[in-house]
């Protein structure tokens, strides 16, 4: 049967890779809606190519610009705007499958809308699970949604875990990490790092926020929390392994000494194709591995002193309640300040640590509670950054 897709964050790195796969299988996938915050020319070109019913942008000004671009191209896609429209196209009855690929907390409400309305939810937006994992997993269970992880490590774990979705016989999960661009950079050189250096990831081409998160290893920390919610394992059962080649995407370690791993080229079209077609398999456009050519794979233990953000994520997961929301919000603000040239690279971890230490909120019970903690943390970080000036 043809799947009707909404791609949230269609203009981003995951969004464009998703559409690359979709374009290879016009018999299997149709597009209902595409969304994007900027890059309106790209979004218009995507509308011309995939002819979705709706395109969603952030505000009326962007909507007007996009409408003009579409008229020039004789494209009939209807343009909507605003946060509610994102939720509407994620939950519309015509939609079977939602790719949630907005970056950051901005993706939470629309991911949740897809979960609540029982969609096949292809989740790239890890921040949703970090902020509201408990609520999200409950929504998936109650609505009968199918949650398929897109993050390459979690997609790998999903492929290696028992097919019934449980964790019978599982001793632990090993999340691999490339180590980012500064794996071998001495700590004393890290504060002089520029945003462009931080975004020059050795293995993956990604958006700027996740690229900086990879450089601080906060990305792996967020992924530890993501794995906890997706697979119901404790922090103590999740370990991180540095593997610079990014060929092994993660491992499931069973109690009998077997470890199952998923391997592939570092190309997000592999997990995207897996989730789009699950439980079938489709061509992703990515070549089969040639291990003889790669020849050597390396592994190291992570350096928690050089990358304190990784430790902070384990701490936030142990603390539970609102702590992961605080960490995620502080990190988004700190990364934005770093990308804007306002703070140094090492200050990202300092801001995150200070927020976790200073802020104590009651455990959230609703999505509104989650958003309130997020907003209060952001306000706190703005004040904190001002005291540093
Ligand atoms: P990106 O910056 O390339 O794209 C982000 C998309 O979200 C764009 O379409 C952008 O227009 C849209 N967007 C940005 N701000 C928005 C807002 N306020 N409201 C609505 N839409 C907004 O990011 P990306 O690298 O594609 O990452 C997307 C998500 O996938 C992130 O959560 C990231 O952690 C996750 N992820 C990405 C990769 C990767 O290889 N890029 C791998 C694993 C997980
Ligand atoms: Mg990942």
Residue 274 within a domain = no
Residue 285 within a domain = no
Measured between alpha carbons, how far is 91 from 42 in angstroms, rounded to an integer? 24
Residue 195 within a domain = yes
Residue 275 within a domain = no
Tell me, what DSSP letter sits at residue 191?
A: G
Is residue 288 classed exposed, middle or buried when 0-12, 13-18 and 19+ CB atoms within 10 A define those classes?
A: exposed
* Ligand 1: centre distance to CA 102 (Å): 4
Measured between alpha carbons, how far is 42 from 44 in angstroms, rounded to an integer? 5
- The pTM of the full predicted model, rounded to 2 decimals, is 0.98
Measured between alpha carbons, how far is 160 from 138 in angstroms, rounded to an integer? 23
Same-domain status, 205 and 338: no
**CATH number where 142 lies:** 3.40.50.720
Residue 276 within a domain = no
Measured between alpha carbons, how far is 61 from 44 in angstroms, rounded to an integer? 15
The pLDDT value given to residue 111: 98
pLDDT of 202 higher than 80: yes
Please give the radius of gyration of the chain, using alpha carbons only, rounded to the nearest integer.
20
Measured between alpha carbons, how far is 374 from 182 in angstroms, rounded to an integer? 29
Same-domain status, 211 and 332: no
Which tokens belong to 127?
């921040």
Using DSSP's 3-state secondary structure scheme, residue 100 falls into strand
**Do residues 145 and 124 lie in contact, with contact meaning Cβ atoms separated by under 8 Å?**
no
Ligand in closest contact with the CA of 150: 1
Residue 171 within a domain = yes
Same-domain status, 213 and 296: yes
Ligand 1 pocket by Cβ (under 6 Å)? 9-15, 36-38, 58, 101-103, 106, 124-127, 151, 204, 206-207, 210, 268
Mean pLDDT of 155-159: 98
Same-domain status, 202 and 137: no
Number of domains into which the chain is organized: 3
Q: Which helix (H) or strand (E) holds 123?
A: strand 120-123
- Which of 149, 164, 185 is the last residue in one of the domains? 149
Chain Cα centroid distance, residue 373: 20
Same-domain status, 208 and 331: no
**CATH number where 335 lies:** 1.10.1740.10
Per-residue pLDDT of 306-360, as tens digits, reads 999 999 999 999 999 999 999 999 999 999 999 999 999 999 999 999 999 999 9
Atom of ligand 1 nearest to the CA of 210: 34
Categorise residue 77: left if φ over 0, alpha if ψ from -120 to 50, beta otherwise.
Answer: beta
Same-domain status, 298 and 159: yes
| Structure-derived torsion over alpha carbons of residues 314, 333, 90, 232, reported in degrees to the nearest 10 | 0
* Ligand 2: centre distance to CA 375 (Å): 26
Most ligand 1 atoms within 8 A of CB, residue of 206, 224, 374 to mutate:
206
Measured between alpha carbons, how far is 223 from 257 in angstroms, rounded to an integer? 24
Same-domain status, 112 and 95: yes
CA distances from 289 to 22, 202, 263, 294 (A): 22, 18, 8, 8
Q: Which residues surround the ion ligand 2 when the cut-off is CB under 5 Å?
A: 151-153
Per-residue pLDDT of 30-89, as tens digits, reads 999 999 999 999 999 999 999 999 999 999 999 999 999 999 999 999 999 999 999 999
Same-domain status, 172 and 306: yes
CA angle 30, 78, 4 (to 5 degrees): 15
* Ligand 2: centre distance to CA 154 (Å): 7
- Which of 126, 149, 172 is the last residue in one of the domains? 149
**Which candidate, 81, 80, 79, 143, places its Cα nearest to that of 111?**
143
Mean pLDDT of 370-374: 98
Mean pLDDT of 173-179: 97
Which tokens belong to 101?
């690929």
Instruction: Please give the order of strands across the beta sheet that includes 78-81.
Output: 78-81, 54-57, 29-35, 3-8, 97-100, 120-123, 146-149
Same-domain status, 202 and 62: no
Same-domain status, 164 and 20: no
The pLDDT value given to residue 388: 81
Mean pLDDT of 157-180: 96
Per-residue pLDDT of 239-260, as tens digits, reads 999 999 999 999 999 999 999 9
Residue 273 within a domain = no
**Which candidate, 164, 147, 174, places its Cα nearest to that of 237?**
174
- Residue 236, domain extent: 152-265+291-310
**Which candidate, 234, 212, 188, 218, places its Cα nearest to that of 302?**
218
* Ligand 2: centre distance to CA 151 (Å): 5
The pLDDT value given to residue 1: 79
Measured between alpha carbons, how far is 187 from 174 in angstroms, rounded to an integer? 25
Residue 271 within a domain = no
pLDDT of 389 higher than 80: no
Task: For the chain, give the percent of residues with pLDDT over 90.
Answer: 97
The pLDDT value given to residue 203: 84
- Which of 149, 168, 200 is the last residue in one of the domains? 149
Same-domain status, 240 and 352: no
Mean pLDDT of 358-369: 97
Same-domain status, 116 and 176: no
């Amino acid at each position: 049967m043809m799947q009707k897709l909404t791609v949230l964050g269609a203009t981003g790195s995951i969004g464009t890779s998703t559409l690359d796969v979709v374009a290879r299988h016009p018999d299997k996938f149709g597009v209902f809606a595409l969304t994007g915050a900027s890059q309106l020319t790209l979004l218009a070109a995507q509308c011309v190519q995939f002819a979705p019913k709706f395109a969603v942008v952030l505000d009326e000004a962007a909507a007007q610009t996009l409408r003009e671009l579409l008229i020039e191209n004789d494209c009939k896609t209807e343009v909507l705007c605003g946060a509610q429209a994102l939720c509407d196209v994620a939950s519309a009855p015509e939609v079977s499958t939602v790719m949630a690929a907005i970056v950051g907390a901005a993706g939470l409400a629309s991911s949740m809308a897809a979960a609540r309305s029982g969609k096949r939810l292809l989740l790239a937006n890890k921040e949703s699970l970090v902020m509201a994992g408990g609520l999200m997993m409950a929504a998936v269970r109650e609505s009968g949604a199918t949650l398929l992880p897109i993050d390459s490590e979690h997609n790998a774990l999903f492929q290696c875990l028992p097919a019934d979705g449980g964790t019978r016989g599982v001793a632990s999960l090993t999340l691999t990490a490339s180590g980012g661009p500064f794996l071998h950079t001495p700590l004393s050189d890290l504060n002089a790092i520029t945003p462009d250096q931080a975004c020059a990831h050795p293995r993956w081409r990604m958006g700027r926020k996740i690229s900086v998160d990879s450089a601080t290893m906060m990305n792996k920390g967020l992924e530890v929390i993501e794995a906890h919610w997706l697979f119901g394992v404790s922090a103590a059962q999740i370990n991180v392994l540095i593997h610079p080649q990014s060929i092994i995407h993660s491992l499931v370690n069973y109690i009998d000494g077997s470890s199952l791993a998923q391997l592939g080229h570092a190309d997000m079209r592999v997990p995207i194709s897996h989730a789009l077609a699950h439980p079938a398999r489709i061509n992703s456009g990515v070549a089969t591995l040639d291990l003889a050519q790669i020849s050597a794979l390396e592994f190291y233990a992570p350096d928690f002193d050089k990358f304190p953000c990784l430790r902070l994520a384990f701490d936030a997961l142990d603390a539970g309640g609102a702590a992961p929301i605080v960490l995620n919000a502080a990190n988004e603000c700190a990364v934005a300040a770093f990308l804007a040239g306002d703070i140094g690279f090492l200050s990202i971890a300092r801001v995150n640590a200070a927020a976790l230490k200073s802020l104590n909120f009651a455990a959230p019970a609703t999505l509104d509670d989650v958003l309130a903690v997020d907003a209060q943390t952001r306000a706190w970080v703005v004040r904190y950054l001002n005291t540093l000036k």
